[in-house]
Structure 1
Amino acid sequence: MYGGHVGYIVRPSERGKGYGKRFLSEIMNKARELGIDQLLITCDEVNSRSRRVVEGNNGILDSVANGICRYWIKIF
């Protein structure tokens, strides 16, 4: 399965500045407000920056298949 609950994009000139981690954190806050208790986030296995963003927001790697990582983030 490829896809997830949310997505975010940081333009190339702004990458590496922490915006992705902040965006995902804000998305998690909104999910909490909506009563969502967990999020599924997917990214390409080779996308190390995206993986760090998800892992930096407590994402737990569930599986890797066909080059796609599936992460779950529990919303507290």
Structure 2
Amino acid sequence: MSAVVAVRFAAGVVAESRRQTHLASRPEGPFPAAWRTLCGLQIPSYAAQVSEQPTGMPCVRCMSRLPAPAEPELEQ
């Protein structure tokens, strides 16, 4: 399982233009009352669609805050 999940507003909660796919850290325990995304948006759990796989238009601000992949170590 990944440490990051895709979160967006559920269908019918907001206009389709606001249903960007945001990224949030997976909680260690039960689902939180609200998902805090990497871009700072808070999406209440009752209004959220959570997925392991991103769907729809990604949030550019969330994408830009993802950590860079680790550089492979070079053999010496």
TM-score > 0.5, shorter chain as reference: no
Larger Rg: 2
**Higher helix content, 1 or 2:** 1
